[in-house]
């Protein structure tokens, strides 16, 4: 519990101290570090949560450290209405001499933050409510510097939603893991966002030599000797993009649990993208599924055809790329660019109100925060992301099958930092029919 040293009530400014004010003296110039609350009281940057409130003549709430026993405080409290010493006309100031304890309880988060000053030493304790937390100890050249640092940190925490509390009253709370991490301005929409969650596999790329039956981007694909290399309508060999060995990835509801799914694309300027999702003829790209996998190099064709001359726009990945794909099962909320997002979630990304970022309107800022915390990049299943707009008609039920994002670390680049998507009708996915998969990519 913090202790407060009572100071002369007639002092007008305390520029170098954390201060606490009792009273409802509206319109009075605030000392540094104070702010006026809606009830007319004041709170300092290092203040406890108790404020003397109301108007002259009404009883005031006592501070937990019993300010009422101090003679100077009693004089201020008992002075006649209108007297300069009267609380409500003048304020009583104090300097914090002990620990300050804050708590944050919102959604499923319950955290505490405590500062303790001892001369030039500032001790910070923080963690989950009900635990001992972690300690950080910092030593400053002077006590004033230590106190200024504590005030700054407490102010930062209050801006994030922390409020003053009593540690003795804190009890350990059962904290559920947040299903979606959201910016505080997006938390009013949490229920609607979490209602859209669907399972997905977040994919990660690692540059390493692979086998023909591994999940990967680039390299030598799985090609049984009895099969031929896919070509476009002119007979030009397509470029191998990626393949997914479902036995190597976490099981995803509705998707195969074994077999290899492969993606080949054209070598023209559009990388074989047809421009329209329907009809998915796959004349300029190809999606193949091998239900049975034989991990035997002797049964495979390991010699790809000669790479045709590249068009004006190179392939979205280097010809020698060979990167392993691994995955983690996760829950994925609807993306901000999904065709059904506005009517389903209802966040106004077009708001022109100001935001904390001077370069962005509120709607732009909210969209940026949402996308930063919800987009997966490379993925299997879940919701697609776009740099432009969703090419699917709202009535089309097509699901995201596979998504490959631009990835600077592995020199994958779809135009100007774009992203590629492969879509499938739910009925086709249930039948394991990948002959009508649609392909699309866009860029900035």
DSSP reduced 3-state for 35: strand
The beta strands (E) that lie in 84-218 are given as 92-96, 100-106, 109-118, 121-128, 134-139, 163-164, 198-207, 216-218
Query: Can you say whether the dihedral through the CA atoms of 44, 48, 53, 57 is positive or negative?
Result: negative
Tokens of 411: 């020199």
Per-residue confidence (pLDDT) for residue 50, from 0 to 100:
31
Answer yes or no: are the C-beta atoms of 161 and 184 closer than 8 Å. yes
Residue-wise pLDDT tens digits, 331-350: 999 999 999 999 999 999 99
Superfamily of domain 198-442: YwqG-like (2.30.320.10)
The pLDDT of 280-299, averaged and rounded, is 95
Per-residue confidence (pLDDT) for residue 108, from 0 to 100:
62
Residue-wise pLDDT tens digits, 226-282: 999 999 999 999 999 999 999 999 999 999 999 999 999 999 989 999 988 888 889
Q: What does the mean pLDDT of the chain come to?
A: 80
Which pLDDT band holds residue 109 (cuts at 50, 70, 90)? confident
Report the C-alpha gap between 65 and 100 in whole angstroms. 13
Report the C-alpha gap between 213 and 297 in whole angstroms. 9
DSSP reduced 3-state for 425: coil
Output the pTM of the full model. Answer: 0.63
User: Looking at the predicted structure, is the pLDDT value of residue 170 above 90?
Assistant: no
Q: Which residue has the higher pLDDT, 25 or 437?
A: 437
Report the C-alpha gap between 336 and 370 in whole angstroms. 7
User: Looking at the predicted structure, is the pLDDT value of residue 410 above 90?
Assistant: yes
Report the C-alpha gap between 164 and 159 in whole angstroms. 12
Report the C-alpha gap between 411 and 420 in whole angstroms. 15
**What are the sequence ranges of the domains in the chain?**
1-98, 100-169, 198-442
User: Looking at the predicted structure, is the pLDDT value of residue 152 above 60?
Assistant: yes
Residue-wise pLDDT tens digits, 43-96: 333 333 233 322 333 333 333 333 344 455 455 556 555 555 544 333 333 445
Classify 72 in phi/psi space as left (phi over 0), alpha (psi -120 to 50) or beta: alpha
Answer yes or no: are the C-beta atoms of 317 and 410 closer than 8 Å. yes
User: Looking at the predicted structure, is the pLDDT value of residue 19 above 60?
Assistant: no
Report H helices in 238-334.
Answer: none
Asked if the domains 100-169 and 198-442 are classified in one and the same CATH topology, the answer is no
Per-residue confidence (pLDDT) for residue 94, from 0 to 100:
42
Which pLDDT band holds residue 179 (cuts at 50, 70, 90)? confident
DSSP reduced 3-state for 423: strand
User: Looking at the predicted structure, is the pLDDT value of residue 204 above 90?
Assistant: yes
- Pairing of β 322-332 and β 379-381: unpaired
Hey, what CATH class is 100-169 in? mainly beta
DSSP reduced 3-state for 47: coil
């Amino acid at each position: 519990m913090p202790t407060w040293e009572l100071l002369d009530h007639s002092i007008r400014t305390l520029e170098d101290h954390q201060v606490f004010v009792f009273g409802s003296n509206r319109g009075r110039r605030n000392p540094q570090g104070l702010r006026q609350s809606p009830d007319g009281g004041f709170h300092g940057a290092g203040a406890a949560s108790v404020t003397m409130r109301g108007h002259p003549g009404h009883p005031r709430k006592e501070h937990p450290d019993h300010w009422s026993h101090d003679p100077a405080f009693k004089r201020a409290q008992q002075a006649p209405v209108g007297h300069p010493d009267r609380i409500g006309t003048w304020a009583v100031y104090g300097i914090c001499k002990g620990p300050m304890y804050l708590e944050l309880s919102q959604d499923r988060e319950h955290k505490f933050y405590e500062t303790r000053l001892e001369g030039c030493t500032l001790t910070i304790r923080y963690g989950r409510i009900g635990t001992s937390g972690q300690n950080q100890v910092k030593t400053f050249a002077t006590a004033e510097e230590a106190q200024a640092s504590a005030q700054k940190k407490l102010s930062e925490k209050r801006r994030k939603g922390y409020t003053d509390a009593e540690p003795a009253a804190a009890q350990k709370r059962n904290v559920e893991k947040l299903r979606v991490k959201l910016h505080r301005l997006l938390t009013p929409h949490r229920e609607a966002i979490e209602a859209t969650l669907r399972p997905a596999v977040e994919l990660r790329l690692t540059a390493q030599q692979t086998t023909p039956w591994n999940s990967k981007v680039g390299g030598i694909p799985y090609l049984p000797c009895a099969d031929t290399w896919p070509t476009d309508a002119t007979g030009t060999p397509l470029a191998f993009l990626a393949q997914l060995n479902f036995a190597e990835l976490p099981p995803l509801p509705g998707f195969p649990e074994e077999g290899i799914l492969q993606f080949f694309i054209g070598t023209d300027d559009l990388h074989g993208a047809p421009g329209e999702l329907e009809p998915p003829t796959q004349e300029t790209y190809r999606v193949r599924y091998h239900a049975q996998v034989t991990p035997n190099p002797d049964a495979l064709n390991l010699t790809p055809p000669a790479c045709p001359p590249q068009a004006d726009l190179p392939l979205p990945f280097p010809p020698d790329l060979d990167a392993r794909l691994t995955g983690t099962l996760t829950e994925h909320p609807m993306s901000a660019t999904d065709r059904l997002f506005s009517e389903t979630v209802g966040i106004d990304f077009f708001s022109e109100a100001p935001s904390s970022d001077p370069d962005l309107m509120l709607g732009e800022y909210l969209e940026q925060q949402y996308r930063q915390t919800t987009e997966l990049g490379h993925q299997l299943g879940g919701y697609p992301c776009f740099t432009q707009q969703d090419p699917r008609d709202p009535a089309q039920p097509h699901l995201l099958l596979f998504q490959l994002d631009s990835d600077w670390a592995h020199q994958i680049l779809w135009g100007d930092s774009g992203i590629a998507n492969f879509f499938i009708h739910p009925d086709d996915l249930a039948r394991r029919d990948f002959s009508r998969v649609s392909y699309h990519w866009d860029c900035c």
